[in-house]
Structure 1
Amino acid sequence: MLNLRMLAAVLAAQAMVACATPSVPFTVQDASSDQYPVNDSSESAAPPPVIRLDDALFTGTTSGKTNRFYGIPFAYPPIGDRRLRKPEPLPPYEGDRSATAYGSSCPQMPMTLPSWVEGDLSKALNSVVGSMYESFTPDNEDCLTLNVVAPSGATPTSNLPVVIWIFGGGFEIGGTATYDGSSVVGRSIDLGQPVVFVSMNYRLAAYGFLAGKEVKEAGVGNLGLQDQRLAMRWVQKYIRNFGGDPSKVTIWGESAGAISVNMHMLTNGGDTEGLFRGAIMQSGGPLPVGDITHGQKEYDEIVKLTGCDRSKDTLACLRTVPYETFRRAVNLSPNFFAYQGLVLAWLPRVDGDFLKAPPQHLVLQGSVANVPFISGNCDDEGSLFSIASVNISTSADFKAYLKLFMMPTASDAQIDLLLRYYPDTPAAGCPFDTGLKNMLSPQFKRVAAVSGDFVFHGPRRFFMKQRSSKQRSWAFINKRMKDTPFIGSAHATDLINSFGNGELKDYVIRFTNNLDPNGKTGMGINWPQYDVAKPKAAVFQDSTFWPMIVTDDNYRNQALDFVANLSLIHPI
């Protein structure tokens, strides 16, 4: 158990950092500059900013060179009979409103590990990705609010580019309060390329991604994505009041947020409806998912646990059961630290409405928004989500695991071929390029390699290969924090670069302004556009002299091609 205790200590230390300031796992807010403090006493010295929306006046706060407006509702609260229905836009605003505090996060799932994983590790993980959200913004079903951060001098005629941030969390946890938009806007001002930052809450878990035939028949699938889309329409209607230009919007997300960005590129036949002109995806692409009825097992379990199995209309029953009853049932479903790992219980699926076909099929059909995009991954995407699989000790165990969860419809021959691309050699596993280090168990690095490639690396490479000849694109790989014990350059480690003091933030700002991460004239190290004939990626690495290099994007080429082809045939 020594290895697990060491990992628990690492994650517990990260949890202490995370809980010391409103931040995301593995990242810190850019609050080192006295220009952009989180709590600035100067806010009381100057009149607070006020924005008129319809017949309402919203009062925000000032921090350094930025004005912040938090907790603005953009839809009717999805409570009562509006639970498990598409979001509805609000009528015109009226009256005086306070916009000085974040709204509640949407209901969060508890992060728990299987019983065979040591208790100290389970507690540490829960502290990192679970309890921190409750500490900063308690969750509630009434959660559909958004936030706007703008340069303090912006006016309705400023016509500034807009970046919309969609947070991650496996479609199970997360909220806007853990991401400081002031750091992005403040840096954009310093670069002389100011932007307006918007973030929104959206429904998670079964509240936003309930699946099953009943959901499909009622046309209420992918509600979390519908929430995001409505928030994007809100931006089109109101962002000029904050100084933004609705024709210059970039959507940007990480993890579930990046997958969401990709889903918005694929929905509606690729028609953006004028909602965005660029996209940035950190660890997320065309997720290999199938029909929404693949989630029938989870739907039936929720119905049973709430007592709605006695109802003739189970979906109507789920809308009327008390919130705590529904919540208890949802919280018993598998989370992304459960044994099944990245085969999530709640995630976007093909509902015949928002998604007409599996995402990768839509890519092949050309149902893709023709906008410039950035897409990248962390090197060791699968490590964090494979901790629960430490009881897998043999190749036979691993094959049974794949057959049970990740590839239940694949043949034995297909799985055997997959395992040839991912041999039983720890030095070839994830965290990559670490030799025999980081072996939590005999099969841990192998499980982590397959999981990360199937959900993250494979979809990214597939998307780049299919689209780079048709639209301008740029790729990156984050290899920083490689020395983190057992998990390496794990999922979400790139957030330090984009929300902390990192160069990826600068590239995001320049892309939002110019649809090119290098800007109009080029700044810093040139980031080459992706070319499928000679694919290149920016690599962010732990090096004082060469923190960013450009290299060939050809790692695990054959394995990733096979993973992409297999997931086309056998989506989750």
Structure 2
Amino acid sequence: MFAPLVATVVLLACTTGALGTPPSVYLDRATFFGNASGAVAQFLGIPFALPPVGDLRLRLPQPHAPYTGVLNATAFGPACIQQSAPVQIPAGFSQVTLGLLASREGGDPIVDSENCLSINVVKPANATDLTKLPVLVWIYRGGFETGASASFDGSVIVERSIQLGQPVVYVSMNYRVSALGFLGGTETQKAGVGNLGLQDQRLALRWIQRYIHAFGGDPSKVTIWGESAGAISVALHLVTNGGNTEGLFRGAFMQSGSPTPVGPLAKAQPFYDALVANGLCDCDGYPALRTAINASPNMFSFQSLDLAWQPRVDGVFLKDDPQQLVLQNNVANVPFVSGDCDDEGTLFSLSTANLTTDDDVSAYLASTYMQGVPSSDIDAILNLYPNDTTQGSPFDTGTYNDLTPQFKRLAALQGDFVFQAPRRFFLQQRADKQPAFSFLSKRFKTLPDLGSFHSSDVELVYGPSDLTDYLIRFATYLDPNVNASADPDANLVWPRYTTAAPQLLTFLDGDVPLDITLDTYRAEGMEALTKVSLAYPL
């Protein structure tokens, strides 16, 4: 009975204390001191699990012991060990676009470590344990190979929510990536340690249920949200555990990511064998561990989005191909948003500049995304995605942006196979069963070579921009339209998506920034890709 009383007294006293007093929060028997930043308070780098090192390397995450003492929460913890994934730039690439990509990767270099499982909370400065605000939980991008919570400033989200009069609490966590988070192979299957990165995320969600009230958040009002690998992660939390959320969240917001067509851990056996041959099992030191991991293919290697390390069916977190789980109705019955950028595949098609003929593309598909698929089916798909620059991606750019003879065709194929078709499939299966909203971003369309490229929609949230407001309203009301009248710049009603009216909130450049369009483009092509992915998951 004593600890909760002390927690309330300390929280109320310290978070609303005198000017210059650092914000603090009481968890278990510990006082955490954070940062004051304008109208928000930040608590950074709080460990939510035991360090996954030594005997806990490549093991399920273990909850952190109850906190004690006086602890510092003023700096992000190190990222989990990153896999090197440099973008391959072909000849003739736009210097303007190259500069934009470089600026997006700017800032301090990422510091990584095996001891990386930490969580961050950003809240309105005046929020107390009595406030019970909605909670937005960000899961970062990075192709399941890279990523760090420190790369994203949650303060802009919380500050904007305060301006809208709809305050929220922002949470982000680190999770293991690459081979340490998504190891494949039959050995991993037998040990029951697949999808460790997803298990890290799930443990962080349990931490939120236990502690978020102390920061002013309501554990019953959690929305999970991510982009790319983060959005795919969100989707997989929707389909794990038979669709039972365990009360961990009540809504989902996905930017460029849906339930993906993946097969068993054994599909990654060649990568596992190569990793062991490169010394993973004998690595006692950090440099050797990094060297072994970096020998694996990455998302900007020739095989591109046919990732070596990604979520796969492990019999524990994922009991079947996620798309099959959707067909089996093993989906959490919560409102969700799922959207894409128009040119999802351009960034990932820069590494295949040596593919110049139709036969090259056919052979490439047969050796990567479509292993085992009959050649007649591959031919049929190639007929639906012809080598016609006016039909390729960046879409709607005519004969421009044709970096190589097959670039725009490959960009269209890869973007649709991994992002657009899975999103449409998921919506077609679920939108009539639970509230669903979808968007399409055509911002940056005039950017040379890449157009509305993958991850460009992150700017629409962390800008902040108009999607920020829809996100905050969704987290607050489970509907992106409620109280939109409070923001005169975002009054366009975002219609629910249904199979009868598959409407998209569409973000545009120019004088008309928002429109409503139909999700009917490239219907035959995406249907063919979905048919293949269901029969031959990655």
How do residues 248-327 of structure 1 correspond to structure 2 at under 5 angstroms? 248-306=221-279, 317=281, 321-327=284-290
How far off its partner does 1:110 sit? 1.3
Decide whether aligned partners of structure 1 residues 120 and 536 sit closer, same or farther in structure 2, where only a CA change above 3 A counts. closer
CA distance in 2, matches of 1:113, 1:561: 30
Normalising by the residue count of structure 1, what TM-score does the alignment of the two structures yield? Answer: 0.87
Distance 1:337 1:498 in 2: 25
The offset of 1:491, in angstroms, is 0.3
Residue 49 of structure 1 is matched in structure 2 by 23
* CA positional deviation for 1:117: 6.7
- 1:117-516 alignment to 2 at 5 Å? 128=102, 132=106, 135-306=108-279, 317=281, 321-516=284-479
**Counterpart of 2:50?**
76
Structure 1 residue 570 corresponds to structure 2 residue 533: no
Distance 1:488 1:126 in 2: 12
User: Do the aligned partners of 1:71 and 1:146 also contact (CA within 8 Å) in 2?
Assistant: yes
CA distance in 1, matches of 2:101, 2:393: 24
Distance 1:104 1:125 in 2: 27
| Secondary structure of 1:189's aligned partner | helix
> Structure 2 residue aligned with 1:59, among 33, 36, 40?
33
Task: Evaluate the alpha carbon distance shift between residue 495 and residue 80 of structure 1 in structure 2; reply closer, same or farther with a 3 A threshold.
Answer: same
Q: Matched residues in 2 for 1:542 and 1:388: separation?
A: 28
- Partner amino acid for 1:444? F
Q: CA RMSD in A?
A: 2.1
Letter paired with 1:569: A
Does structure 1 residue 110 correspond to structure 2 residue 88?
no
Matched to 1:348, the amino acid is: P
For normalisation by structure 2, the TM-score amounts to 0.93
Shift in CA distance, 466/522, structure 1 to aligned 2, threshold 3 Å: farther
Q: Deviations over 1:500-519 (max 9, x none)?
A: 13110000000000000001
Residues matched between the structures, number:
517
Deviations 1:230-281 (A, max 9, x none): 0000000000000000000000000000000000000000000000000000
The Cα shift of 1:49 comes to 0.3
Partners of 1:114 and 1:49 lie apart in 2 by 44
- In the alignment, the residues of structure 1 paired with residue 258 and residue 381 of structure 2 have an alpha-carbon distance, to the nearest angstrom, of 21
Asked if 2 retains the 8 angstrom alpha-carbon contact of 1:109 and 1:130, the reply is no
2:3 maps to what in 1? none
Q: Once the 2 structures are TM-superposed, how far is the Cα of residue 129 of structure 1 from its aligned partner?
A: 9.4
Aligned partners of 2:216 and 2:353: how far apart in 1? 51
- Once residues 475 and 90 of structure 2 are traced to their aligned partners in structure 1, the CA distance between those partners, rounded to angstroms, is 46
Q: Is the 1:478–1:539 contact (alpha carbons within 8 Å) kept by the matching residues of 2?
A: yes
Identity of aligned residues (%): 51
Tell me, which stretches of 5 or more residues in structure 2 are unaligned? 1-16
2:475 matches 1:537: no
Return 5+ residue gaps in structure 1 as ranges: 1-42, 309-316
After TM superposition, give the deviation of residue 552 of structure 1 in Å.
1.1
Structure 2 Cα separation of the partners of residues 452 and 44 of structure 1: 52
User: Does the 8 Å contact 1:184/1:197 carry over to 2?
Assistant: yes
Instruction: Answer with 323-332 or 353-362: which moved more.
Output: 323-332
Once residues 220 and 536 of structure 1 are traced to their aligned partners in structure 2, the CA distance between those partners, rounded to angstroms, is 40
